[in-house]
Amino acid sequence: MENKGFFNTLINGTNFDANNLTALQKITLRAVVMSFIFFGLVAIEGMIMRLVQADAVKNHILPQMFGVPEHYFSIMTVHPIVGIFGSTYQLVFAAFMFLVPYLTKKPLYSLKLANFVWLSITIGTWLAWIAAFIWHYAPLYTLYWPLPADVKQFSIVGGIVFVIGVALIMLGTLGFIYNIYATIFAKTGVHKNKTTKELLISGFGIDGLMNLIHKLLGKPPYSKEPALSLPVVAIFRGTVDTFLDALVILGAGILVLVFLINAAAGLGWDVHAIDSLLYKNWFWWGLDLVADGLVLIYVAGSWYLLATIITGQKLFMENVARAALLLELFVSWMVWSHHLLADQPQPEMMKLISGEMVTAFELLT
Amino acid sequence: MFQTSIELLKFHWVAYTIYALFIVSLIAWFGINLTRKEKIKSIVRIPFYGYIGFLVAAGVGHHIFTYNAIPWVEEDMKRHEIKPDKSFKIVVANHKWQLPAKPMVVNEGDRVKFHVTSKDLTYGFGLFRDDGTMVFQMQVVPNYDNDILWTFNECGKFNITSTEYAGPAQYDEKGNDLMFVKHGVVVQCKNQKVAIK
């Protein structure tokens, strides 16, 4: 009886009626469920990789297949794809597609688009995982050129399936971004009388910066009531870097796809036509936005919200926080060179300014 | 100031621990004050923004002011103007090194330049001690002359391997590194010769 009660509670909940949920609540929960499934998958993958490193294959604790380099590196390749995109992106996107309408008191721009987002990211993540698991496509997440298009080591089919998977994830990401922008900038409800310029100034944190400047100059505040609340500013600001990052990853995917299709057709284009160092700079510029441009900002935004809810007070140094979000936008675009400090052909000034100084300056923002 | 990467790592271990403690102290100070009805009266008044400014200046300044304290950094920046004592040209293709000599023998104190060129993928060129610690490494991007100038302030036998993932073909089925070259570089000590097999 106890077991029946436990499983009944597990499946049906205690005080939960799915029929009473709104469409947005349902979409949010679907994405969260998929996110947790992917989280479970990466947790298992992570433990398998650690066990391999601890000689579990040699000691016959794990099957031989896990120790074969092709299989091991394919897990390592797809592990961050599933973890970052399938799990974390999906969890964060679902939370923000629910939170932005709640905070702005405006409806989400499109529920259909929200459904597309979780479906696209889910299918894309599975495709990338299948490409790694079945075809052992394993260029790692760094995708250093021309490794992802190296058909001597990797199956062309595996590569194409992987790229299609990642492209679907990025299309889902762009769908999320469009939905968030369209919701924030919709001139309805509390923003009925706001202009796009006012919303943009607030979204980028320019009003916070102007308030600080006015304070220094002894002038009255530039804006007493910002058009957007601070958590919404952080979500919008993080989404700018999410957008740029999606464009770069999608662009890299298309480039890889072109060379893979070319190889499949036997046309024999030389992969070295693409400058490997230029590609590396471009790819790291985009990829680094995940760490420096969006994760930090999304976490900051979430805690700005929680801090005000928990304490019931306005945020301490709110104008500084708004201005810092703007400053960090520019800083996040200029730090990628710290990933190329060991690349000797990289210009020294890039290593010094972008790789060292601006990266260290991030401490301030 | 520092002669080897081991010495530098030891310094960083101490410097960053102290720096992290300063940051933790800031948060602790803020947190303790939040939980008290009256603010703690410190013996010396430290302005909050001044302390933040100090932390930022220390963090950024650490990079600026210690840049030339690490000898190989200055050498690296000026490597195109410095005439090396020895120079080696290395080619890598299909996960195999083409070394000019095996081992490459130099003397302690020599400034040695390694030019590494890749014919296919992005690799790394790293030199390691027998205990697995790294002496130096650089990325080897295809179709570029990837060069590194190194003054050997320590003698001994050093191992070479790629420090950048270039696909699973770098390893055999048992996971052994096929690009690993045991004692690929031998540095003769000033006072005694290192035996070369």
Res. A124 pLDDT band, cuts 50 70 90 = very high
In a domain, B74, yes or no: no
What pLDDT shows up at residue B196? 62
Domain total in chain B: 2
Q: Residue A117: give the domain boundaries.
A: 24-229+240-280
Question: Is residue A2 pLDDT above 60, yes or no?
Answer: no
User: Please, which residues bridge with residue B157 across strands?
Assistant: B186
Pick from B62, B121, B141: which is nearest to A343 by CB?
A: B141
pLDDT tens sequence across A25-47:
999 999 999 999 999 999 999 99
Interchain contact B113–A (C-beta under 8 A): no
- In Å, how far from its chain's centre is CA A61? 35
CB contact under 8 A, A348 and B137: no
Average pLDDT score over chain A = 93
Res. B23 pLDDT band, cuts 50 70 90 = confident
Instruction: Specify whether B102 is located in the same domain as B163.
Output: yes
Pick from B60, B138, B144: which is nearest to A361 by CB?
A: B60
Q: Comparing C-alpha atoms, which of B96, B129, B98 is closest to residue B9?
A: B129
CB neighbours (10 Å) of residue A298? Answer: 22
pLDDT tens sequence across B135-174:
999 999 999 999 999 999 999 999 999 999 999 999 998 8
Q: In this structure, what token pair is assigned to residue B73?
A: 């950094």
Instruction: Specify whether B87 is located in the same domain as B32.
Output: no
Interchain contact B174–A (C-beta under 8 A): yes
Instruction: Specify whether B61 is located in the same domain as B104.
Output: no
- Is the ipTM beyond the 0.90 threshold? no
> Domain with B96 in it: what CATH number?
2.60.40.420
pLDDT tens sequence across A44-67:
999 999 999 999 998 999 999 899
Beta strand spans in chain B (E): 86-93, 96-98, 104-107, 111-118, 123-128, 134-140, 146-151, 156-161, 181-188
Res. A294 pLDDT band, cuts 50 70 90 = confident
Is residue A351 a contact partner of residue A337, using CB atoms and an 8 Å limit?
Answer: yes
Interchain contact B165–A (C-beta under 8 A): yes
Res. A1 pLDDT band, cuts 50 70 90 = very low
pLDDT tens sequence across A220-252:
999 988 999 999 999 999 999 999 999 999 999
CB contact under 8 A, A361 and B124: no
Instruction: Specify whether B88 is located in the same domain as B160.
Output: yes
Collapse the DSSP code of B168 into the 3-class scheme (helix H, G, I; strand E, B; otherwise coil) and give the result.
helix
What pLDDT shows up at residue A291? 78
Mean pLDDT, residues B37-47 taken together = 76
More confident call, B166 vs A360: B166
Q: Residue B29: give the domain boundaries.
A: 5-69
Mean pLDDT, residues A171-175 taken together = 98
pLDDT tens sequence across B81-122:
999 999 999 999 999 999 999 899 999 999 999 999 999 999
pLDDT tens sequence across A308-336:
999 999 898 899 999 999 999 999 999 99
Given B69, B96, B119, the domain boundary residue is B69
Question: Is residue B28 pLDDT above 50, yes or no?
Answer: yes
In a domain, B194, yes or no: no
Instruction: Specify whether B141 is located in the same domain as B163.
Output: yes
For residues B123-153, b (16+ Cβ closer than 10 Å) or e, as one string?
A: bbbbbbbeeeeebbbbbbbbebebbbbbbbb
Question: Is residue A365 pLDDT above 80, yes or no?
Answer: no
Could you please report the per-residue DSSP string of A285-317? HHHHIIIIIIIHHHHHHHHHHHHHHHH-SPPTT
In a domain, B78, yes or no: no
Q: Could you give the residue ranges of the DSSP H alpha helices within chain A?
A: 2-12, 23-53, 69-80, 90-104, 111-135, 156-184, 196-203, 206-217, 230-264, 276-288, 296-311, 318-332, 348-349, 359-361
Query: Which one of A52, A151, A155, A344 makes the best mutation probe of the B interface by having the most chain B beta carbons within 10 Å?
Result: A344
In a domain, B196, yes or no: no
pTM of the model: 0.89
How many angstroms away from the CA of B142 is the closest CA of chain A? 7
Res. A141 pLDDT band, cuts 50 70 90 = confident
In a domain, A298, yes or no: no
Instruction: Specify whether B40 is located in the same domain as B93.
Output: no
CB contact under 8 A, B122 and A72: no
Average pLDDT score over chain B = 89
Domain total in chain A: 1
How far is it, in rounded angstroms, from Cα A141 to Cα B168?
A: 14
Instruction: Specify whether B121 is located in the same domain as B37.
Output: no
Instruction: Specify whether B25 is located in the same domain as B59.
Output: yes
What pLDDT shows up at residue A264? 95
**B193 residue type, one letter:** K
In a domain, B131, yes or no: yes
Give the whole-number percent of chain B exceeding pLDDT 70: 97
In a domain, B20, yes or no: yes
Residues in Cβ contact with B20 at an 8 Å cutoff, skipping those fewer than 6 apart: none
In a domain, B41, yes or no: yes
What pLDDT shows up at residue A22? 94
In a domain, A156, yes or no: yes
In a domain, B195, yes or no: no
What pLDDT shows up at residue A47? 96
